[in-house]
Chain A
Amino acid sequence: MELFKHFKDFKMDVLKEIGNIGAGNAATALSQLLNKPIDMAVPKVQLLSFEEITEKVGGAEKLVYAIFLRVEGEAPGNLFFILSPEAATSLLSRIAGIEISGGDELSEMELSALNEIGNILAGSYLSSLADFTSLSMYPTVPALAMDMAGAILGYGLLQFGQMGDNALLIDTTFLEGNNEIEGQFFLIPDPESFPKIFKSLGVPFEDD
């Protein structure tokens, strides 16, 4: 299926705007949680090979915390909120007021708090997308993993694996101050979701 041949620049712009709106909401939610201004980089929408996607988080072996939510509803997909261990620690100590006791491993309580933060941000991201597109999109219970980026993101690419070697990634980075908190949202909509998203926004999908 030559899905991506149909993607012209203006369609990429539409997707970019979708990422922008979702991330804008999530950045606001994060600002409120932290009681600090949060900057958000302009989202990038890219068609990338699987390898390139893991390169975006520093390589397949790079250690990351990831909160993963499966998006269900009319436009299903996979949503990841990815943090470096440093960013996770920093986010916890700022929001939950938890002084991380050192050592490599976060405690159960710290992990649970991190999962909840991810849940709030992802929920906020999704609800704004759902409002904008008038499509129902709701998250499953979030799952947290701390592992190699490749192992985690590979999971989000399975649906794409059935139809090609590339996936469409809407990627947004959050920054607080001097990169002290850096988190990335990856939205990987299922291939089937694109026609629905475009249709809901009044963009014809099949034309060339």
Chain B
Amino acid sequence: MIEEQSIIKVAMADLNVGSQDSLIRTTGLGSCVGLTLYDPGKKLGGMAHVMLPSSDIAREGQLNIAKFADTAVPELLSRLIELGAVRSRIVAKMAGGSQMFAFAGGNDTMRIGPRNVESCKLALEALKIPLIAEDTGGSYGRTIEIACNTGVLFIRSVQKGSKEI
């Protein structure tokens, strides 16, 4: 990558969008899911760092919509459309949702990673956005980065090396 690309950071329970010359990155995904949306025509991308499956369990006064799968996905979509993306072209990729610690007889919290993945898929289905690639599950952390000029999602992990999807 020779040309200058600006890096847009997405924190935990955060989301953001970017255009052609940007890389959108989130670091240290464990049970959280990094969900990306991309319009290949306009070369616009977006990423959400989803922490929990459903806003139903939220007990906070002011809801952080980037935190929950059911609220983050629609919000990310409308932010991307606001930026100029064409809805019918938008495709999704995602990574993360691992189970960092395996315990015998674990409670619901222990399965939060797989539940985050399921919930993101349901949200995508509801919006009729095709999920074209995913790297989810396992028991390790990931750092991901989407290149808005190509839509390629780079995934880096300590235990399983790097890959692109």
Q: Among B40-48, B72-80, B84-92, B96-104, which stretch is in contact with chain A? A: B96-104
Chain B residues near A68 (CB-CB < 8 A): 101
A151 lies within 8 A of B98 (CB): yes
A143 lies within 8 A of B102 (CB): yes
B59 lies within 8 A of A158 (CB): no
Report the number of A-B residue pairs with Cβ-Cβ less than 8 Å: 105
For chain B, the bracket of interface size reads 20 to 34
- C-alpha spacing A157/B51, complex, angstroms: 9
B52 lies within 8 A of A150 (CB): no
B30 lies within 8 A of A162 (CB): no
For chain A, the bracket of interface size reads 20 to 34
A86 within 8 Å of B (CB atoms):
no
Shortest distance between the CB of B152 and any CB in chain A (Å): 20
Chain B residues near A163 (CB-CB < 8 A): 58-60
Chain A residues near B64 (CB-CB < 8 A): 165
Chain A residues near B30 (CB-CB < 8 A): 147-148, 150-152, 154-155
A51 within 8 Å of B (CB atoms):
yes
B28 lies within 8 A of A143 (CB): no
List of 3 A-B pairs having minimum Cβ-Cβ separation, nearest first: A150-B28, A151-B141, A151-B30
Q: Which residues of A contact B (CB under 8 A)?
A: 1-2, 50-51, 54, 59-61, 63, 68, 70, 140-141, 143, 145-152, 154-155, 157-159, 161-165
- Taking A143-B101, A145-B101, A148-B157 as known contacts, 13 extra A-B pairs with beta carbons closer than 8 A to each other, sorted by chain A number, are A143-B103, A146-B158, A147-B158, A148-B143, A150-B12, A150-B27, A150-B28, A151-B30, A151-B100, A154-B29, A155-B100, A161-B51, A162-B60
